[in-house]
Protein backbone atom coordinates (compact mmCIF):
# COMPACT_ATOMS: atom_id res chain seq x y z
CA UNK A 1 0.00 0.00 0.00
CA UNK A 2 1.45 3.32 -1.04
CA UNK A 3 0.67 6.31 1.11
CA UNK A 4 0.10 9.75 -0.33
CA UNK A 5 3.15 11.47 -1.75
CA UNK A 6 3.20 14.70 0.15
CA UNK A 7 5.65 17.44 0.93
CA UNK A 8 3.21 19.76 2.67
CA UNK A 9 0.10 19.01 4.71
CA UNK A 10 -2.35 20.93 6.87
CA UNK A 11 -2.88 19.48 10.32
CA UNK A 12 -6.16 18.11 11.64
CA UNK A 13 -7.53 20.93 13.82
CA UNK A 14 -10.60 20.43 15.99
CA UNK A 15 -13.49 22.75 15.02
CA UNK A 16 -11.40 24.24 12.22
CA UNK A 17 -10.55 21.53 9.67
CA UNK A 18 -14.16 21.01 8.62
CA UNK A 19 -15.33 20.58 5.04
CA UNK A 20 -15.84 24.34 4.57
CA UNK A 21 -12.27 25.18 5.56
CA UNK A 22 -10.91 22.36 3.44
CA UNK A 23 -12.85 23.52 0.37
CA UNK A 24 -11.55 27.05 0.92
CA UNK A 25 -7.93 25.85 1.20
CA UNK A 26 -8.37 23.83 -1.96
CA UNK A 27 -8.95 27.12 -3.81
CA UNK A 28 -5.47 28.17 -2.69
CA UNK A 29 -3.54 24.92 -3.13
CA UNK A 30 -4.57 21.95 -5.23
CA UNK A 31 -1.86 19.60 -4.00
CA UNK A 32 -1.29 20.26 -0.30
CA UNK A 33 -2.61 17.24 1.60
CA UNK A 34 -5.59 18.06 3.81
CA UNK A 35 -6.62 16.25 6.99
CA UNK A 36 -10.05 16.15 8.57
CA UNK A 37 -10.54 17.14 12.17
CA UNK A 38 -10.28 14.14 14.44
CA UNK A 39 -13.47 12.06 14.22
CA UNK A 40 -14.15 9.67 17.08
CA UNK A 41 -14.86 6.09 16.04
CA UNK A 42 -17.92 5.79 18.28
CA UNK A 43 -19.40 8.93 16.72
CA UNK A 44 -19.19 7.34 13.27
CA UNK A 45 -20.73 4.10 14.49
CA UNK A 46 -23.66 5.79 16.26
CA UNK A 47 -23.92 9.25 14.71
CA UNK A 48 -24.66 11.10 11.47
CA UNK A 49 -22.12 9.64 9.10
CA UNK A 50 -22.73 12.06 6.27
CA UNK A 51 -22.16 15.00 8.58
CA UNK A 52 -18.98 13.46 9.94
CA UNK A 53 -17.46 11.94 6.82
CA UNK A 54 -18.88 13.46 3.63
CA UNK A 55 -16.56 15.66 1.60
CA UNK A 56 -16.37 17.37 -1.76
CA UNK A 57 -14.25 15.42 -4.30
CA UNK A 58 -12.15 18.54 -4.84
CA UNK A 59 -10.80 18.18 -1.30
CA UNK A 60 -8.64 15.22 -2.33
CA UNK A 61 -5.88 14.44 -1.45
CA UNK A 62 -7.65 14.15 1.90
CA UNK A 63 -6.84 12.01 4.94
CA UNK A 64 -9.32 11.05 7.65
CA UNK A 65 -8.03 11.26 11.20
CA UNK A 66 -9.69 8.87 13.63
CA UNK A 67 -9.78 8.85 17.41
CA UNK A 68 -10.21 5.58 19.24
CA UNK A 69 -8.48 2.71 20.96
CA UNK A 70 -10.71 -0.29 20.27
CA UNK A 71 -9.23 -2.32 17.39
CA UNK A 72 -12.57 -3.82 16.35
CA UNK A 73 -14.35 -0.45 16.28
CA UNK A 74 -11.49 1.19 14.41
CA UNK A 75 -11.54 -1.62 11.84
CA UNK A 76 -15.30 -1.18 11.42
CA UNK A 77 -15.14 2.56 10.88
CA UNK A 78 -12.16 2.16 8.53
CA UNK A 79 -14.42 0.13 6.24
CA UNK A 80 -17.06 2.84 6.43
CA UNK A 81 -14.47 5.54 5.68
CA UNK A 82 -13.17 3.59 2.70
CA UNK A 83 -16.68 3.40 1.28
CA UNK A 84 -16.90 7.19 1.61
CA UNK A 85 -13.82 7.53 -0.57
CA UNK A 86 -10.99 8.07 1.87
CA UNK A 87 -7.75 6.54 0.66
CA UNK A 88 -5.65 7.04 3.79
CA UNK A 89 -6.54 7.00 7.49
CA UNK A 90 -4.55 8.47 10.36
CA UNK A 91 -4.87 7.34 13.98
CA UNK A 92 -4.62 10.10 16.59
CA UNK A 93 -2.00 9.33 19.22
CA UNK A 94 -1.18 12.93 20.03
CA UNK A 95 -4.21 14.84 21.32
CA UNK A 96 -3.64 15.72 25.01
CA UNK A 97 -7.11 16.94 26.01
CA UNK A 98 -8.62 15.40 29.13
CA UNK A 99 -11.85 14.74 27.24
CA UNK A 100 -9.96 12.54 24.80
CA UNK A 101 -8.00 10.88 27.59
CA UNK A 102 -11.25 9.91 29.26
CA UNK A 103 -11.96 7.82 26.17
CA UNK A 104 -8.51 6.21 26.48
CA UNK A 105 -7.21 7.52 23.18
CA UNK A 106 -5.13 10.38 21.87
CA UNK A 107 -1.72 11.06 23.39
CA UNK A 108 -2.21 8.64 26.27
CA UNK A 109 -1.96 5.83 23.72
CA UNK A 110 1.79 6.48 23.61
CA UNK A 111 1.87 4.57 26.91
CA UNK A 112 0.43 1.52 25.16
CA UNK A 113 2.46 0.80 22.01
CA UNK A 114 1.18 -2.78 21.82
CA UNK A 115 -2.41 -1.56 21.78
CA UNK A 116 -1.56 1.03 19.11
CA UNK A 117 0.02 -1.70 17.02
CA UNK A 118 -3.08 -3.89 17.47
CA UNK A 119 -5.28 -1.00 16.34
CA UNK A 120 -3.18 -0.38 13.25
CA UNK A 121 -3.13 -4.08 12.35
CA UNK A 122 -6.91 -4.36 12.72
CA UNK A 123 -7.41 -1.35 10.48
CA UNK A 124 -4.92 -2.69 7.93
CA UNK A 125 -6.75 -6.03 7.86
CA UNK A 126 -10.05 -4.24 7.28
CA UNK A 127 -9.03 -2.01 4.35
CA UNK A 128 -6.36 -2.05 1.68
CA UNK A 129 -5.33 1.58 2.19
CA UNK A 130 -2.48 3.07 4.23
CA UNK A 131 -2.95 3.47 7.97
CA UNK A 132 -0.66 6.01 9.64
CA UNK A 133 -0.38 7.63 13.06
CA UNK A 134 0.19 11.13 14.43
CA UNK A 135 1.93 11.27 17.79
CA UNK A 136 4.06 13.39 20.11
CA UNK A 137 7.73 12.93 20.99
CA UNK A 138 6.82 11.94 24.53
CA UNK A 139 4.55 12.41 27.52
CA UNK A 140 4.62 14.86 30.39
CA UNK A 141 8.12 16.16 31.17
CA UNK A 142 10.24 13.14 30.27
CA UNK A 143 12.36 13.50 27.12
CA UNK A 144 13.24 9.88 26.51
CA UNK A 145 14.41 9.24 22.97
CA UNK A 146 14.91 5.53 23.69
CA UNK A 147 11.23 5.16 24.55
CA UNK A 148 10.17 7.21 21.51
CA UNK A 149 12.35 5.05 19.30
CA UNK A 150 10.85 1.85 20.72
CA UNK A 151 7.35 3.23 20.17
CA UNK A 152 8.11 4.04 16.53
CA UNK A 153 9.77 0.65 16.00
CA UNK A 154 6.61 -1.04 17.24
CA UNK A 155 4.55 0.97 14.74
CA UNK A 156 6.97 0.29 11.90
CA UNK A 157 6.75 -3.44 12.59
CA UNK A 158 3.06 -3.36 11.62
CA UNK A 159 4.00 -2.33 8.09
CA UNK A 160 2.72 1.20 8.57
CA UNK A 161 5.27 3.29 6.70
CA UNK A 162 4.50 6.89 7.66
CA UNK A 163 4.53 8.74 10.96
CA UNK A 164 3.53 12.33 11.69
CA UNK A 165 5.41 13.63 14.69
CA UNK A 166 4.42 16.72 16.66
CA UNK A 167 7.80 17.78 18.04
CA UNK A 168 6.52 18.53 21.53
CA UNK A 169 5.67 16.37 24.51
CA UNK A 170 2.03 16.06 25.53
CA UNK A 171 1.49 17.01 29.17
CA UNK A 172 -1.54 14.98 30.19
CA UNK A 173 -2.37 16.77 33.44
CA UNK A 174 -2.33 20.46 34.22
CA UNK A 175 -2.10 21.95 30.72
CA UNK A 176 -4.94 22.82 28.36
CA UNK A 177 -4.75 21.72 24.71
CA UNK A 178 -3.75 25.30 23.83
CA UNK A 179 -0.97 25.29 26.43
CA UNK A 180 0.16 21.92 25.10
CA UNK A 181 0.76 23.59 21.74
CA UNK A 182 2.89 26.31 23.30
CA UNK A 183 4.52 25.41 26.62
CA UNK A 184 6.33 22.08 26.07
CA UNK A 185 9.52 22.96 24.20
CA UNK A 186 9.90 22.03 20.57
CA UNK A 187 12.51 19.30 20.04
CA UNK A 188 12.91 19.05 16.30
CA UNK A 189 16.20 17.22 16.87
CA UNK A 190 14.32 14.19 18.18
CA UNK A 191 12.23 14.01 15.01
CA UNK A 192 15.33 14.36 12.85
CA UNK A 193 16.92 11.49 14.79
CA UNK A 194 13.87 9.31 14.09
CA UNK A 195 14.37 9.83 10.36
CA UNK A 196 18.02 8.86 10.67
CA UNK A 197 17.23 5.76 12.71
CA UNK A 198 14.21 4.72 10.59
CA UNK A 199 15.14 5.74 7.04
CA UNK A 200 12.55 3.33 5.63
CA UNK A 201 9.74 5.38 7.21
CA UNK A 202 8.28 8.54 5.77
CA UNK A 203 8.61 11.09 8.58
CA UNK A 204 6.46 14.22 8.62
CA UNK A 205 7.28 16.92 11.16
CA UNK A 206 4.72 19.15 12.86
CA UNK A 207 4.75 21.85 15.52
CA UNK A 208 5.39 25.61 15.50
CA UNK A 209 6.26 25.85 11.81
CA UNK A 210 5.28 29.18 10.24
CA UNK A 211 7.53 30.22 7.35
CA UNK A 212 8.85 28.95 4.05
CA UNK A 213 12.38 29.27 5.43
CA UNK A 214 11.48 26.94 8.29
CA UNK A 215 9.80 24.51 5.91
CA UNK A 216 12.90 24.39 3.72
CA UNK A 217 15.13 23.75 6.74
CA UNK A 218 12.97 20.85 7.91
CA UNK A 219 12.83 19.30 4.44
CA UNK A 220 16.59 18.91 4.58
CA UNK A 221 16.11 16.55 7.53
CA UNK A 222 12.71 14.86 7.09
CA UNK A 223 10.39 13.92 4.25
CA UNK A 224 7.51 16.33 4.72
CA UNK A 225 6.12 19.16 6.81
CA UNK A 226 2.73 19.71 8.42
CA UNK A 227 1.48 23.18 9.34
CA UNK A 228 -1.41 23.84 11.68
CA UNK A 229 -2.37 27.22 13.12
CA UNK A 230 -0.35 29.19 10.58
CA UNK A 231 -2.32 27.53 7.78
CA UNK A 232 -5.48 28.83 9.40
CA UNK A 233 -4.39 32.34 10.34
CA UNK A 234 -2.35 32.97 7.18
CA UNK A 235 -3.82 30.73 4.45
CA UNK A 236 -2.36 32.70 1.55
CA UNK A 237 1.07 31.45 2.65
CA UNK A 238 0.12 28.35 0.63
CA UNK A 239 -0.58 30.24 -2.61
CA UNK A 240 2.70 29.30 -4.30
CA UNK A 241 3.17 25.89 -2.65
CA UNK A 242 1.86 23.95 -5.67
CA UNK A 243 4.57 25.48 -7.83
CA UNK A 244 7.24 25.39 -5.13
CA UNK A 245 6.74 21.82 -3.90
CA UNK A 246 4.73 20.02 -6.59
CA UNK A 247 6.07 21.54 -9.83
CA UNK A 248 2.63 22.83 -10.79
CA UNK A 249 2.47 25.15 -13.80
CA UNK A 250 -0.87 26.66 -12.79
CA UNK A 251 -0.84 30.46 -12.48
CA UNK A 252 -0.68 31.97 -9.01
CA UNK A 253 -4.11 33.10 -7.82
CA UNK A 254 -4.63 36.48 -6.23
CA UNK A 255 -6.51 36.78 -2.97
CA UNK A 256 -9.43 38.32 -4.82
CA UNK A 257 -9.53 35.43 -7.28
CA UNK A 258 -9.63 33.01 -4.35
CA UNK A 259 -12.43 34.94 -2.66
CA UNK A 260 -14.43 35.00 -5.91
CA UNK A 261 -13.76 31.29 -6.47
CA UNK A 262 -15.76 30.67 -3.29
CA UNK A 263 -18.91 32.28 -4.70
CA UNK A 264 -20.51 29.15 -6.13
CA UNK A 265 -19.82 27.28 -2.89
CA UNK A 266 -21.33 30.05 -0.77
CA UNK A 267 -24.33 30.28 -3.06
CA UNK A 268 -24.89 26.56 -2.62
CA UNK A 269 -24.70 26.94 1.16
CA UNK A 270 -27.50 29.49 1.03
CA UNK A 271 -29.54 27.28 -1.27
CA UNK A 272 -29.30 24.48 1.31
CA UNK A 273 -30.51 26.82 4.06
CA UNK A 274 -27.13 27.24 5.75
CA UNK A 275 -25.39 30.37 6.97
CA UNK A 276 -22.59 31.98 4.98
CA UNK A 277 -20.67 32.27 8.23
CA UNK A 278 -20.27 28.49 8.32
CA UNK A 279 -17.69 28.94 5.57
CA UNK A 280 -16.61 32.58 5.78
CA UNK A 281 -15.48 32.17 9.40
CA UNK A 282 -12.60 30.13 7.99
CA UNK A 283 -11.63 32.88 5.55
CA UNK A 284 -10.78 35.63 8.04
CA UNK A 285 -7.05 35.27 7.43
CA UNK A 286 -7.17 35.49 3.63
CA UNK A 287 -5.98 39.11 3.62
CA UNK A 288 -3.52 38.64 6.47
CA UNK A 289 -0.89 41.39 6.27
CA UNK A 290 -2.73 43.33 3.56
CA UNK A 291 -4.30 46.75 3.45
CA UNK A 292 -7.84 46.67 4.88
CA UNK A 293 -7.27 43.23 6.43
CA UNK A 294 -8.98 44.46 9.59
CA UNK A 295 -11.99 45.65 7.58
CA UNK A 296 -12.21 42.24 5.88
CA UNK A 297 -12.31 40.47 9.24
CA UNK A 298 -14.79 42.93 10.75
CA UNK A 299 -17.21 42.75 7.84
CA UNK A 300 -17.17 38.95 7.74
CA UNK A 301 -17.84 38.75 11.47
CA UNK A 302 -20.43 41.54 11.75
CA UNK A 303 -22.28 42.73 8.64
CA UNK A 304 -22.21 39.42 6.79
CA UNK A 305 -23.42 37.49 9.84
CA UNK A 306 -26.31 39.92 10.24
CA UNK A 307 -27.36 40.02 6.59
CA UNK A 308 -26.37 36.53 5.40
CA UNK A 309 -26.48 38.18 1.97
CA UNK A 310 -24.11 37.07 -0.76
CA UNK A 311 -24.27 40.54 -2.33
CA UNK A 312 -22.62 41.97 0.79
CA UNK A 313 -19.83 39.45 0.38
CA UNK A 314 -19.35 40.37 -3.29
CA UNK A 315 -19.21 44.10 -2.48
CA UNK A 316 -16.60 43.44 0.18
CA UNK A 317 -14.46 41.35 -2.15
CA UNK A 318 -14.60 44.01 -4.86
CA UNK A 319 -13.49 46.65 -2.35
CA UNK A 320 -10.49 44.72 -1.09
CA UNK A 321 -6.95 45.26 -2.33
CA UNK A 322 -4.03 42.84 -2.34
Is CATH 1.20.120.1460 the right assignment for the domain spanning 255-319?
yes
Task: Spot the catalytic one: 95, 108, 119, 290.
Answer: 95
What confidence tier does 321 reach under pLDDT thresholds 50, 70, 90?
confident
Q: Average pLDDT of 118-128?
A: 97
| Residue 226 to residue 218: CA distance in whole angstroms | 10
pLDDT at position 305: 97
Q: Does residue 95 have an active-site annotation?
A: yes
Report CA dihedral (57, 58, 63, 67) to the nearest 10 degrees.
-70
CB neighbours of 117 closer than 8 A, spacing ≥ 6?
154, 155, 157, 158
Q: What is the pLDDT of residues 129-172, one digit of tens each?
A: 999 999 999 999 889 999 999 999 999 999 999 999 999 999 98
Percent of the residues in the chain that have a pLDDT greater than 70, as a whole number: 96
Domain boundaries, the chain: 8-246, 255-319
CATH class of the domain at 8-246: alpha beta
Question: Predicted confidence band at 1 (pLDDT cuts at 50, 70, 90)?
Answer: low
**Spatial distance between the Cα atoms of 225 and 246, rounded to a whole number of angstroms:** 13
Q: In the predicted model, is pLDDT for residue 219 greater than 80?
A: yes
pTM: 0.95
What's the pLDDT at 101? 56
Do the domains 8-246 and 255-319 sit in the same CATH topology, yes or no? no
The reported pLDDT for the residue numbered 3 is 59
Cα separation, 313 vs 266, in Å, equals 10
CB 262 within 8 A of CB 286: no
Amino acid sequence: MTHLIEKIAIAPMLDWSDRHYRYFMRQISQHTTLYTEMVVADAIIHGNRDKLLAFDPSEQPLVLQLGGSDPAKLAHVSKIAYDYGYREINLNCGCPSERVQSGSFGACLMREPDLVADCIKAMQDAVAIPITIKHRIGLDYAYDYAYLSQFVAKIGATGSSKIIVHARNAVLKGLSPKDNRQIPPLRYDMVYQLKQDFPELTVMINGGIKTVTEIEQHLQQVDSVMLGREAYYNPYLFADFDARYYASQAPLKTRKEIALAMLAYLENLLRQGNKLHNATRHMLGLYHGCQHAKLWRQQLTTQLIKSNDLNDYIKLVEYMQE
